[in-house]
Structure 1
Amino acid sequence: MTTPAYDTDNIFAKILRGELPAHKVYEDDMTIAIMDIMPRADGHTLVIPKNASRNLLDVKAEDINAVMATAQKIARAQMTAFEADGITVQQFNESAGGQVIFHLHVHVIPRKEGVPLKPHTGEMADGELLSGFADQLRKALETA
């Protein structure tokens, strides 16, 4: 099966072009990390490559390497910022694999022992709440 073409109008492409707002917590030459607007836990962050790729099936090695390095950096900061007991990392590929937005992204989710992930309701979180989470995470990144 051939992977469908990359859609340049997906929401993450628009965020990367500055056409849509996002609560950015980290950026380097190859990646950006933003708060998930429908978080499954406090501090749920998405790591996205700046270069176009639909998912794991078509991403260049240097881009996925950069994404995972940033995911590790975010995870370490989340442990401090959210007093997490652990981290869940998720990445979905194609509709059958659970992917909804077709630009590669990795979910980095701080977890507390015995606390289940919130259900994915499709409802956006309060912007001030997300802004506060972003501030906590940026502060932890500065001291890491």
Structure 2
Amino acid sequence: MSTAVPRVRESDCVFCEIVGGRAPSYRVLEDVHAVAFLNIRPAAPGHTLVVPRVHARDMWEISEVSHGHVAAMAHRVAALLNATLAPDGVNVKHNTGEAAGQDVFHFHAHVVPRWHGDNLRLAWNSPLAQPAELEEVLERVSAGR
């Protein structure tokens, strides 16, 4: 049984609608390659989404060049949020696939301002891996290069 998420047509993509100006948004920054707008379900004040203007479903579909444009815009957004909101830190996060928490299937990066004591939990507390586990994973990954 397949658990694959159906492909989203660009005409059905809310982020394509925002990029095209057909859906409302609170734009923070934009250029010819990417658009940054406030998340309507913010994890923190200033939580901004950065999307490429060209539709790409996720990290596995976006081109390296387009991903670079999104990364550059995320960098600019983080600097702007730092200058205007003065957070204590920032998280830049992306989810690919439903299993990772992706719920809009147009590549996007979250830029989330952070303040001491905000109680937002985006990190995990994993046990230290054993060297044998790391070697086994490295061996598998290296075989695919």
TM range (shorter): 0.7 to 0.9
Calculate the TM-score normalised by the size of structure 1. Answer: 0.76
- Is 1:79–2:82 an aligned residue pair? yes
2:40 aligned partner: 37
- Is 1:110–2:109 an aligned residue pair? no
The CA deviation at 1:4 is 5.6
- Give the alignment partner of residue 49 of structure 2, picking from 28, 46, 49: 46
1:28 aligned partner: 31
The CA deviation at 1:20 is 0.6
Give the SS at the match of 1:64: helix
What stretches of structure 1 move > 2 A for 4+ residues in a row?
1-7
Listed as ranges, the matches of 1:1-144 within 5 Å are 5-8=7-10, 9-117=12-120
Give the SS at the match of 1:110: strand
Q: Which has the higher contact order (CA 8 A, sep 6+)?
A: 1
Q: State the identity %.
A: 33
Task: Name the CA distance, whole Å, in 2 between partners of 1:91 and 1:73.
Answer: 17
The CA deviation at 1:5 is 3.5
Give the gaps of 5 or more residues in structure 2.
122-145
Calculate the TM-score normalised by the size of structure 2. Answer: 0.76
Give the SS at the match of 1:75: helix
Deviations 1:35-92, CA, capped at 9 Å, x for gaps: 0000010000000000110010110111000000110111111112111010011101
Task: Name the CA distance, whole Å, in 2 between partners of 1:77 and 1:18.
Answer: 23
Give the SS at the match of 1:80: helix
Give the aligned CA root-mean-square deviation in angstroms.
2.1
Q: 1:3 to 1:62 in 2, by over 3 A?
A: farther
Give the SS at the match of 1:15: helix
